[in-house]
Each structure stands twice: as C-alpha cells, then as structure tokens.
Homo-oligomer: A and B are copies of this chain.
C-alpha cells in the first residue's frame, strides 16, 4: 500500500486538520466528536443542511461545507458511517432555529445513524427532516444498501438545496426541493482499478489488466457486470444509456450533467469522456444546461468515472447558478 499518510488510524483526523488549516475563512473542524462546520455557524433563522458519510469520497462532504451549500458534514472513518453522536452534535451546532435537513446517501449504516441522530435532536426540540438519496441505477440492493445506492446526485442536491436555504427557503421548502432533485437524478459508475482502504492495506477487489467493472459502487461494491475493457466511447454509451433509460430522460429535457472521476483518473481522460457523453445526449435531443467535470464524489484512488444526469427545471438551474463558497465548489463569491 503506497499512500501519503502517517499512521493508518490517524488518516481521517489528520486530513481534516489539513482541510481546516487550508480553509480557515470558510470552515472549522470539531474533533470530539468529529464534524466539519461553517465558520459562521449557526446562521440564525436559516434552514441548516447537514450531510455526511464515510471518508474516502473527498471532496464529498467536507469540501462542500460553506456559504451556499452545507452547514456541516460528518465524516466517518474511511468507508464507514459516521456515528449518531457526531451527527447529533453537528446538527445542534448548525441549528439556527429554523430546523435542519439531513441529506443522506442510501447506505444502511448511514441511514440508521442519521435516523438515530434525528430522533435525538428532535427530543431536544430541533426540527429535523431527512432526504435519502438513492440515484444509482446500476443495481437494486448492494453490499451495504437496501434499495439503490446514493451517489453523484448527492453533490447536485447539496449545491441546489444549499442555495435554496441561503435564499431563505424554509425547512419544508428545502426538503421538497431535495426530494425533487433526488427523483430527477440518476447515476452510474465504472472502475478500471480498485482502491485500497488504508486500514485494510490491500486492494478491495482485483480486476485483470484487460477488465473493467460496470456499475461499481463508491466503496468498490460489485456492479452490474465485469467486462472486457472497452474504448471510452463504449463506456460512455453504457453509462449514459443506462442512466437515460432509467428515468427516463427524453428529448427536450434540460439536464445538469456531471462526469465525475473516482479519484485516480486524470482530468485529461475525464474531459474526453465528457465529450462522448455530451455527444450522446445531443443525439437524443437532451439539452445539457450545466456541466461539472472533475473529481467530486470519489473512491480514494480508484481509477474510473461515473455519469450523473439531473433533469433540471428552472428553479433547480437558478439555485445551481446561485453563489457558493466551499473548498471544492466556488463561484459568484
């Protein structure tokens, strides 16, 4: 295992210390329990948004904390759910009196621990609503999930709902928008190589030199198919085709399109894939209204990519365009 780390047990804590040191104007990090929070939290009267999940998917979620996006993020150990006490403490820290939305990726541990934290907070008089993101079209049920996994649409939901909260939407309004984003977002990913969890010290799975895994999860969970490595054009067809067919997206739809890197694939390749995806969508009359190409929801150093499409109405596009100031997404500020 070759990684830029010190001791395996310290990876998450030390990485968060670096995140805090690099972005003192935007966020701060609590270490006991562990969470990342907006530097100016709580914002009185604003609906707050908390997300979280296992570490190893950076910039998700800590890199999305800041004005116009998340109020707090709760990172677990690598590929491990955050605990209820982390989530409870973060929820209390950001509650500005207008309630808190939990955005939760659909993994059994995350869902359970966010539910427990929500109950603890509600018992203290904090209004909490939760939206579970389950946008991965690859498989029904998976290694850590009942139903569909939550992946790329989470990034888009956090941006759009964060902007809505900044605009003054109340908790019910932010929740409704988040459900609409989830209902209209679909994703699928693939891998060329495995990642290595630091505590495991060896690759999660192995793929032959001429193999790829289609429909992989962000923790290396098995996908739809292990297949012979194909050109980027075919891979883009497979991923985009599955995503488009599922909703389904139709000619005339406007979408926000994300081509996301799994962590170990260079931008040179991600842009090449994006070109293929946009061509496929154009052919079907689907209009790409906004784009995002890069590493946004990763799986450590896994090589591979995922495609996310969100059928976006005018409100979603407007909230997408609203200003945001976080380590990983920033514009208008």
| A residues whose Cβ falls under 8 Å from a Cβ of B | 2-7, 11-12, 14-19, 21-23, 55-56, 58-59, 63, 78, 192-193, 209, 212, 229, 231-233, 235, 263-276, 278-279, 291, 293, 295, 298, 300-301, 303-305, 327, 330-333
Q: Are B267 and A59 in contact (CB under 8 A)?
A: yes
Given contacts A17-B272, A18-B278, A58-B266, 10 further A-B contacts (CB under 8 A): A2-B193, A2-B303, A4-B272, A5-B231, A5-B272, A22-B271, A78-B268, A268-B300, A330-B331, A331-B331
Looking at the assembled complex, report how far the CB atom of A232 sits from the nearest CB atom of chain B, in whole angstroms.
5
Instruction: Provide the residues of chain B in CB contact with A263, threshold 8 Å.
Output: 264, 266-267
Closest residue to A63 on the B side, CB-wise? B267
Instruction: Provide the residues of chain B in CB contact with A14, threshold 8 Å.
Output: 232, 272, 275-276
Closest residue to A275 on the B side, CB-wise? B18
Q: Are A18 and B266 in contact (CB under 8 A)?
A: no
Closest residue to A327 on the B side, CB-wise? B293
Give the distance in Å from the alpha carbon of A11 to the alpha carbon of B263 in the complex. Answer: 20
Q: Are B22 and A293 in contact (CB under 8 A)?
A: yes
Q: Are A269 and B235 in contact (CB under 8 A)?
A: no
User: Quick one: given A15-B269, A56-B266, A291-B22, are A2 and B278 in contact (CB under 8 Å)?
Assistant: no
Q: Would you list 9 pairs from A and B whose C-beta atoms are within 8 A, ordered by A residue?
A: A4-B232, A4-B273, A5-B231, A6-B233, A15-B269, A17-B272, A18-B272, A22-B278, A58-B267
Q: Are B21 and A274 in contact (CB under 8 A)?
A: yes
Select which of B21, B55, B264, B327 is within 8 A of A301 by beta carbon: B264
Dominant SS among interface residues on chain A? mixed
Select which of B6, B268, B293, B304 is within 8 A of A11 by beta carbon: B268
Instruction: Provide the residues of chain B in CB contact with A295, threshold 8 Å.
Output: 267, 295
Looking at the assembled complex, report how far the CB atom of A325 sits from the nearest CB atom of chain B, in whole angstroms.
8
User: Quick one: given A15-B275, A58-B271, A275-B17, are A266 and B232 in contact (CB under 8 Å)?
Assistant: no
From A3, A263, A293, A304, residue with most partner B Cβ within 10 Å: A3
User: Quick one: given A17-B275, A276-B18, A278-B18, are A269 and B4 in contact (CB under 8 Å)?
Assistant: yes
User: Quick one: given A271-B58, A293-B22, A330-B330, are A266 and B300 in contact (CB under 8 Å)?
Assistant: yes
Q: Are A273 and B2 in contact (CB under 8 A)?
A: no
Give the distance in Å from the alpha carbon of A19 to the alpha carbon of B17 in the complex. Answer: 33
Q: Are A18 and B264 in contact (CB under 8 A)?
A: no
Q: Are B21 and A268 in contact (CB under 8 A)?
A: no
Give the distance in Å from the alpha carbon of A105 to the alpha carbon of B118 in the complex. Answer: 54
Give the distance in Å from the alpha carbon of A269 to the alpha carbon of B15 in the complex. Answer: 7
Select which of B266, B300, B331 is within 8 A of A298 by beta carbon: B266
**Pairs of residues from A and B, 5 with the lowest C-beta to C-beta distance, nearest first:** A18-B275, A18-B271, A58-B267, A4-B269, A18-B274
Q: Are A6 and B55 in contact (CB under 8 A)?
A: no
Instruction: Provide the residues of chain B in CB contact with A269, threshold 8 Å.
Output: 3-5, 15
Q: Are A21 and B272 in contact (CB under 8 A)?
A: no
Q: Are A5 and B232 in contact (CB under 8 A)?
A: yes
Q: Are B18 and A293 in contact (CB under 8 A)?
A: yes
